[in-house]
Structure 1
Amino acid sequence: MKLKQILMCIGLLACPLLKAQSQPDSEQAYIATVTKRSDKILAELQIADSVKYKRVREIMVKQYSDLNKLQKSEEQTEQKRAELHKHYVSQLASQLTPAQVEKIKDGMTYGVLPVTYKAYTDMIPTLKDEEKSQIMSWLTEARELAMDGGSSEEKHKVFGKYKGRINNYLSGRGYNIQEERKNWEARMKAFKSNGR
């Protein structure tokens, strides 16, 4: 054994032998993690048919795994990501109702869309229908992109960008976002202090 190999294997340099052995374990751990995550998301759908449940879970786990591999690959392209997304949504749609597919999308993105939409409509109760529609449109677009993010941080970053866009849009429509937020916080505080 050469000096470099010895240094690698005693921990002074990265050992390719240990790396090769640990990769399958880390891949199995990742699959176990995304399987649990998929089960948690699917629990809300209450799918009674166990065969369908397992089929949908396999689709979800494969998507997580494919996105993880793509993120690690040298040739990460937006086109490949878009193809994976389109195929994934198509597979889900072949097994589930549109409402169930929406729940999976929300689950994969930590429910940021419905929570954020509700926050905007609660914060600014005077929003017009067209403004609500625009907010929902941008949050939906953000969710579609965030679904393909490899990490929680990456998913939240996508939503952050769209929240900035929404805030700019609302400011352009004459809303003072800071003032609206202060008023909303005061309403929430009053609501809580009244024991509700």
Structure 2
Amino acid sequence: MKTKINVCLAIALLCMFKMTFAQSDREKYLQVITERSDKIIAQLAIADSATYKKARAVVVQQYDNLNTHHEQREVKIKALKDKYAGQKEALDSKRSKLEAKEDAVLQKLHKQYIGRLSSLLSPQQVEKVKDGMTYGVLPLTYGAYQDMIPNLNGAQKEKILTYLTEARELAMDQPGSREKHQVFGKYKGRINNYLSSEGYDLKEEGKKWEERKAQKQAKK
């Protein structure tokens, strides 16, 4: 009887330890995404502290929602791989349907998020939040293309910006830095193909750009 009680006590203590450990991990994660969100919102020059906190809370919640979504998505994909192991055609079909369904959920999360931000912030501030969540890749890349090819016309600049804006909307919903940059990489490929079709030799343009940068650096 005593042994049975000791076993039950040990199990109870183990469960409590696991719950405490999980809670600790959760608290650490929330601290990380709160600090990340704070850095983004701090760039917006929001004077009202209540609005600042509300906007930060919206960004924190989105990071949390995205993390939960992608974790659950991976679990579902793994379950499919286990269930249809050795059945490539069936697995591809099931996974394709699952990915489409999960993408729809992600798009809904994205739309709701932008709506909540827009109720608190100006359009310009929302743009800055988007850039903050994607490491400022859009403005940096847009500026780089204009530096590399100074004679881009208005229509070409607009096309590049359209591609980068679409990439940013998708990258915002990705689970991590690597995935976000992969999205931009895909769209940079499209931009390069477009510019090539417009008659630009990107290899040559890149070479001339490097020469201009070297000359500028030498003058300092």
Q: Shared topology, TM-score over 0.5?
A: yes
Unaligned runs of 5+ in 2: 4-13, 77-98
1:123 matches 2:148: yes
**Higher RCO structure (Cα 8 Å, ≥6 apart):** 2
Which amino acid in 2 is paired with 1:137?
Answer: T
1:103 matches 2:102: no
Q: Go from structure 1 to structure 2 and tell me whether the alpha carbon gap of 1:71 and 1:186 turns closer, same or farther (over 3 Å shift).
A: same
1:134 matches 2:133: no
Which amino acid in 2 is paired with 1:169?
Answer: Y
1:35 matches 2:34: yes
- As a proportion of its length, which structure holds more helix? 2
Give the Cα–Cα distance (whole angstroms) in 2 for the partners of residues 16 and 193 of structure 1: 65
Give aligned-pair identity as a percent: 50
TM-score after normalising by structure 2: 0.79
- Which residue pairs with 1:5 in the alignment? none
State the shift of 1:30 in Å: 1.2
- Which residue pairs with 1:61 in the alignment? 60
Which amino acid in 2 is paired with 1:28?
Answer: E
Residues 70-123 of structure 1 show CA distances to partners (whole Å, capped at 9, x for unaligned) of 010045700111010000000000000000000000000000000000000010
- The root-mean-square deviation of aligned C-alpha atoms, in Å, is 1.9
Specify the structure having the higher radius of gyration (Cα).
Answer: 2
Give the Cα–Cα distance (whole angstroms) in 2 for the partners of residues 126 and 19 of structure 1: 61
Give the Cα–Cα distance (whole angstroms) in 2 for the partners of residues 37 and 61 of structure 1: 8
State the shift of 1:22 in Å: 2.6
Instruction: Select which of 115, 119, 122 maps to 1:94.
Output: 119
3-state SS of the aligned residue for 2:119?
Answer: helix
TM-score after normalising by structure 1: 0.88
Alignment of 1:2-13 (within 5 A): none
- Which residue pairs with 2:180 in the alignment? 155
State the shift of 1:17 in Å: 7.6
- Which residue pairs with 1:6 in the alignment? none
3-state SS of the aligned residue for 1:182?
Answer: helix
3-state SS of the aligned residue for 2:40?
Answer: helix
- Which residue pairs with 2:213 in the alignment? 188
Which amino acid in 1 is paired with 2:66?
Answer: L
Structure 1, 98-107 or 170-179: larger mean CA deviation: 170-179
State the shift of 1:164 in Å: 0.5
State the shift of 1:192 in Å: 1.0
Unaligned runs of 5+ in 1: 2-14
Which amino acid in 1 is paired with 2:56?
Answer: R
Q: Go from structure 1 to structure 2 and tell me whether the alpha carbon gap of 1:18 and 1:72 turns closer, same or farther (over 3 Å shift).
A: farther
Which amino acid in 2 is paired with 1:128?
Answer: N
Which amino acid in 1 is paired with 2:213?
Answer: M
Give the Cα–Cα distance (whole angstroms) in 2 for the partners of residues 34 and 168 of structure 1: 36
Give the Cα–Cα distance (whole angstroms) in 2 for the partners of residues 82 and 103 of structure 1: 20
